[in-house]
Amino acid sequence: MLSSSRILPSLLVCIAFFFSTATYDGLHAQENNDMLDDGVRLMAIYSANYDSLLNSYYLRSYHDHTRRHDYRATVDDFDRTPDSVIQRRLAALHTVIPMTFNSQVRSYIRMYLNYISERIDVMQSLSDYYQPLFEEALNRNGVPEELKYLPIIESAMNPMATSRVGAAGLWQFMYYTGKLYGLEVNSVVDDRRDPHRSTEAAAQYLRDLYDVFNDWTLAIAAYNCGPGNINKAIARSGGHADFWKIYNYLPRETRGYIPAFIAATYVMNYYPEHGIRANRFSLPIHSDTIAVRRDMLFCYVSEYIDVSIDELRSLNPQYRVDLIPASTGRYTLCLPTDKLHLMIQYEDSIYVRTADSLTVAPVEVEAYQPRSSAKKSHGTKGKNGGVHVVRKGETLSSIARSYGTTVAKLRKKNNLKSDKIRVGQRIKL
């Protein structure tokens, strides 16, 4: 019987069981090929999430700068490595969760070395960015730090990843499980894709699962297939509460989930020992969040603080449209640290512009145009960049769009303390 301190997490995980499904769909194959088929399916999902990740703002130029790696050399090196060496390396990690080594784990390590060898640049660069966030949330909730590697097998660390069955985000939350843990999901906002909120929810969910099973390996397995399937496997095994003793009674996809987790942990720590060299690239590690008090459109944030809309989308993947609906709840905006002072300076102007667009005079927001392709306007060009004479009905924003620049730059160039301009005023470009 559960103690009173464990009733709430037990209820949460039981409710979650009814509303969640396994992250991955099963494939039908002959019994003796189950593990191979599950591994191929898992790697296919990983590859799909990884390929989607490369479309994000910060990774579009990745292939232009990466070095190519011969994955065959890595796999050949692994094949020559004795089991005793792999087992000793896993034991040296000093993890709370047992890093069991067996034939299943070895097969998954081999697969991950194969698939990750040419992707290690991205995985390590994303680790530099996300893992401090993961570590903080996991430690705060009393969850072993090594679970920071779980998003590798869940989503390839892609916050925009979505599974066939609708699981979303870095931690692949299903809709109802996310709701149970306080994640907002609607037509405008999807907190499952918010790295901060989804990580906190995942840490709480994992802790609740541990409070039910009192075993971290079973908690991880339950994260994949639901606590109900774990309880069924325990019952069918004769009451054994050990993952490897209930292994044959688990859903097929969950049998491979723990070996995959151990394999990902091994590869992320020991890839150099197999001849792989990570060529890290720059990500916006120096970013911070600011509370948003009123509705805010990305187009105006982009204009005033000189951050592209694509970059705003990449830093704030939880917003399904380019709008933060702050009038309906508590929301934040993530920005590069060096832009926070501009956000504070122009915050009120952005609120006013957004309110006008949403309620007073809705307008179609034009995309940013580089100077070379900007629309022709009635300004005169000179060696100092030119001058624009303000006409009736023009605003500083419309002038900025016409010349392919930003409001912030025009204000700085003309020493303007506000957005107010008058007809006949000369604006330096």
Positions marked active-site: 154
Buried b (16+ CB within 10 A) or exposed e, 390-424: beeebebbebbbbbbbbbbebbeeeeeeebebeee
Q: Phi, psi (5° rounding) for residue 428?
A: -70, 140
Which SS3 state, helix, strand or coil, does residue 291 take?
Answer: strand
Half-sphere exposure of 381 (CA within 13 A, CB side): 4
> Which tokens belong to 384?
């100092």
Task: Tell me the helices (H) and strands (E) count for the chain, helix number first.
Answer: 19, 7
Residues 420 and 425: their CA atoms lie apart, in Å, by 11
| CA distances to 228, 255, 374 from 18, in Å | 8, 21, 55
Long-range contacts of 314-317 (CB under 8 A, 24+ apart): 314/56, 314/57, 314/58, 315/284, 315/287, 317/159, 317/160, 317/193, 317/194, 317/195
Residues 234 and 371: their CA atoms lie apart, in Å, by 66
Beta partners for residue 291, in sequence order: 332
The CB density around residue 375, as the number of other CB atoms within 10 Å, is 10
Rounded to 5°, angle at Cα 168 from 162 and 169: 105
DSSP per-residue string spanning 197-211: HHHHHHHHHHHHHHH
